[in-house]
Homo-oligomer: A and B are copies of this chain.
């Protein structure tokens, strides 16, 4: 990995595990639902096929970013997916880098307001 000053556009914080579009959707959705979501709810909210979601959830749980939990209620127990504490921190750090990209683009693409740093939006 090269120095950020040498490669100012390399964005090393854009971790591959989160950057794939489906995973970005899943993690954002899990962050928004701290009480967990069922497989079906997650697939619908992120517009992912069962196969795709299954593949991503397998990888995310393997890496300790998401976890499953059996929830008992009036009906039969349901499996819900949640983001782990560690996964949450790691994902938020990835999103910080994403924000840096957005900021760089905004600053560079509007020369006249470059120094205002989105102050008026």
Contact = CB atoms under 8 A, between A and B. Distances in A.
Nearest to A92: B109
Main secondary structure of the interface of A (DSSP, over half): helix
Contacts of A11: 21, 24-25
Given A2-B47, A98-B102, A9 B21 contact: no
B9 A32 contact: yes
A98 B44 CA distance: 20
A28 B8 CA distance: 10
Contact of A19 (B19, B47, B91, B95): B19
A101 B25 CA distance: 8
Nearest to A106: B95
Given A21-B19, A102-B99, A46 B108 contact: no
